[in-house]
Each structure stands twice: as C-alpha cells, then as structure tokens.
Amino acid sequence: MAFALSVWIRNAVVMAALLGWATVSATAQGYETEATAAYVIDHGSGQVLLAHNADVPLPPASMSKLMTLLMAFEALRDGRLSLETRIGVSEHAMSFGGSTMFLNTTDRPTVEDLIRGIIIVSGNDASVALAEALSPDGTEAGFARIATERARALGMASTTIVNSSGWPAPGHVMSMRDLGILAEEIITAHPEYYRYFVETEFDYENRAPANRFNRNPLLGLGIGADGLKTGHTQEAGFGLVGSAVQGSRRVTFVITGLQSAEARARESERILNWAFRQFVERQVVTQGTEIARVPVFMGTGPDVAIAPARDLSLLVPVVGEAPLHAEMTYISPVIAPVATGDTLGEMVVRLGEGDDLIEHRIALLATQDVPEGGIVVRLSTAMRAVMEEVFGPTPTPAGG
C-alpha cells in the first residue's frame, strides 16, 4: 500500500523559560565616554560592549601604525622577512619629524629593531622604512595601496591608508571599529609578536634617550594591560588602541578625540574598569539539555528529544536589560531509524543588532536512539496516513 508523507521544516522561537535564562543585553546602558568616538569589544565572545561613532572614518594618527605592524607580522609568518633581516633607510624615511628613532641613510636596522621602534617609541621613520621594504614598488605609496587592500579583506570598510605612519594626510582615515578589528587580528593571529607591545622602553643605539618610553598610559598599572598603540595629532586629538586581560576575560578598546594625554589616560582606565565590572558571564545554553521533542515517523517511539551540541555563554550586563532572541529549526517528522547524536536541527541565538549583531549557530542533536518499527508499527502508520488522507488529521485533545 502506498501513502504520502508530508515533511516540513519547523521553526520555533525558543522561550526564555525553556532555556532557563531571562532577558539580557548586548550593550549595557548609561556609559558616556569622553572620547569623540569609541569601540569596546570582549575578545572571547566577540560581543561589542560599546560603539560610539564607531563607524565614522577619522584621522587615526599613529594608531594606524598597527596596519604597518600587521603587514610586517604577516611577512614574518610567510617567510618574506625574518626578525634578523636588515632594512635600509631611505631619505624619505629619514626626513620625518615628530616621534622618531633618529635613523639615517647609513643605518641598517633589523626588522626587530623597527618593530620595537614602531611599537614603543612610535617611530615615524621606522614605519616608513618597514613599509618601503614591504611595498611592491619600494615606495610608501605602494605600501599604502596594498595595506588598504588588506584592510578591506579584513572587513575594515571605513579604512583608507595613505601612509604607513599616520602622519596627517588628506584621505588617510580609519574608524574605531576598524582599528578594533585590526587589534583583534594582531592579538589572535600573531601572539608570538604580541609580546613587544608590553615593553615599556627602547632606545636604538642610545640615539633618543628622551623618546625611549612607551606612551601607553596603562602599562605598569597592574590592571592587565598589555597593548597596543597610542596616537596623537592636532587634528585627531589623543587616542589609544588598548587591550587588557583580567581573569579569564580580555577586553580590547579604541578611543580617540581626547583633549590631552591626561584625559586619554583617565578615559582608558575608566573604560576598562567599566567593561570588566559591568558585565558578567552567564551560560544561556547547556549542552545536552532537552529543548524540544521531534515526532518520529515509522519508529518504535513517537518522538525523540533534541538538545544543543555545545554550551553557550554570553556576557550579561549587571544593570540594564534587552531581549535575547533564540530560534530553532528542525525537520518534522524525522524518519526512523534515529541514532543518538544525529543532527536533527539548529538553534540560532542572536544578541545585539545592526553591525553589532552577534549570531551563534548550534546544532541540535538527538539524545537517544529510536529504531525503525516492526511490521505492526509500519501497518499502523500506513493506516493512520490513509485515514488522514481521507478524513483529515485527528484532532489533538486540549490539555487541562
């Protein structure tokens, strides 16, 4: 006897009570930064904790040296450079004022010297020398073109690189979100070179004893700060791309537009304190916990429980709430046999909105075996299908 089986995709909003959590928020309310623009991200979860004018393209000052450093780290990884490689210094590189290593055209600093010179003393000459070594045509302009292309590939949509140092130039802009993306890429992809960012002092051949100290105001405060780069021009104001670890959490932040070095130091410490103190980690999905039961066709049992394949924890603000949305999709009914661990659906958990939306996809797995039924089950199922074809579905009694 032939009969038809209707199979459909079922979507269901997962209710908070079912998962055992209440409403949570992507961004805690009420924090007002002194910065013109700011961006704060929790490194482990990827949650954006603060985005204030975060997508506005702004002059990045020396914070854009991080792009030069990333390109150098990638060249080291690929074997195009080594830390011991010696680099020539052009007249163009030597010509820069501001913060420098005081290089001249007779110098042949190593790549490691230049990296430390960029990170610790913010050497404009070091940035240009390294950029010219990485450039496809040996010029800083050539480097700027490939750096902009690399930024686009990383998702830095508001970045245009005109030079390697952040020296004021028309069209040389980055958003705070883009600088956050850049910082996270350096921290995640190049931990072997991240150690340089915590160094507080570097004096190349005793040439610049007055300019040998790292300007990052957070280093040495005992609050877990270990990077990354300050910036200052008259146009940009004072800024910082910073990162710190406390306990099991790392927070990365970017601020710009402060009126003084003192204001930058104060706001940097304040924003870290807020990010670490005003959020707590909560488990919102637990591996193996039954979420729903899916009907089983032609099985020894009528249905099978489905459960998340992994735990999911998110940051919850101490003060302020907003809805967290979760939805599951599964095929219903599933055809027997079903084995424990079979993927029968997916849960999608969304937190935030717009550019700050975080989406987690978690497979939903069968928690038990449901073997294929014998001849009695097959005949009963076939008869029920025929009856439903003729008379329609059997009404389900209302619950009390």
**Average pLDDT value for the chain:** 87
| pTM of the predicted model as reported, rounded to 2 decimal places | 0.80
Residue 3's SS3 state is: coil
Domains in the chain: boundaries: 8-24+283-391, 37-277
Higher pLDDT pick, 387 / 142:
142
> How far apart, in whole angstroms, are the C-alpha atoms of residue 118 and residue 196?
10
* Angle subtended by helix axes 140-153 and 65-78, to nearest 10: 80
| pLDDT greater than 50 at residue 26 | no
What is residue 376's predicted lDDT score, i.e. its pLDDT?
A: 55
Q: Which of 18, 19, 60, 53 is nearest to 35 (CA)?
A: 53
Q: How many CB atoms lie within 10 A of CB 198?
A: 16
Chain segment 87-141, per-residue pLDDT in tens: 999 999 999 989 999 999 999 999 999 999 999 999 999 999 999 999 999 999 9
Q: How many CB atoms lie within 10 A of CB 1?
A: 8
- 333: cis peptide before it, omega within 30°? yes
b (16+ CB within 10 A) / e for 208-219 = beebbebbbbbb
Write the DSSP string, 132-180: HHHSTTSSHHHHHHHHHHHHHHTT-TT-B-S-SS----TT-BB-HHHHH
| pLDDT greater than 90 at residue 284 | no
Region 356-375: what's the mean pLDDT? 85
Domain 8-24+283-391 classification at class level: mainly beta
Helices (H), 260-374: 261-277
Region 255-268: what's the mean pLDDT? 97
| pLDDT greater than 70 at residue 53 | yes
Alpha-carbon separation of residue 129 from 186, 223, 352 (angstroms): 20, 34, 42
List the CATH code of the domain at 37-277: 3.40.710.10
Note whether 8-24+283-391 and 37-277 share their fold. no
> How far apart, in whole angstroms, are the C-alpha atoms of residue 315 and residue 274?
13
Q: Would you call 224 exposed, middle or buried from its count of C-beta atoms within 10 A (0-12, 13-18, 19+)? A: middle
| pLDDT greater than 50 at residue 328 | yes
Confidence of residue 28 (pLDDT cuts 50, 70, 90): very low
Chain segment 146-203, per-residue pLDDT in tens: 999 999 999 999 999 999 999 999 999 999 999 999 999 999 999 999 999 999 999 9
Helix (H) or strand (E) holding 351: strand 343-351
Per cent of the chain over pLDDT 70 is 84
CA angle 182, 185, 187 (to 5 degrees): 110
Per cent of the chain over pLDDT 90 is 68
Return the structure tokens found at 163: 């030079």
> How far apart, in whole angstroms, are the C-alpha atoms of residue 318 and residue 259?
30
Helix (H) or strand (E) holding 114: helix 111-119
User: Contact, 222 vs 245, CB < 8 A?
Assistant: no
| pLDDT greater than 70 at residue 245 | yes
User: Contact, 27 vs 319, CB < 8 A?
Assistant: no
b (16+ CB within 10 A) / e for 262-281 = ebbbebbbebbebbbebbee
Higher pLDDT pick, 79 / 349:
79
Region 289-302: what's the mean pLDDT? 88
- 3-state SS of 37-106 is EEEEEECCCCCEEEEECCCCCECCHHHHHHHHHHHHHHHHHHCCCCCCCECCCCHHHHCCCCCCCCCCCC
DSSP 399: P
Higher pLDDT pick, 46 / 119:
119
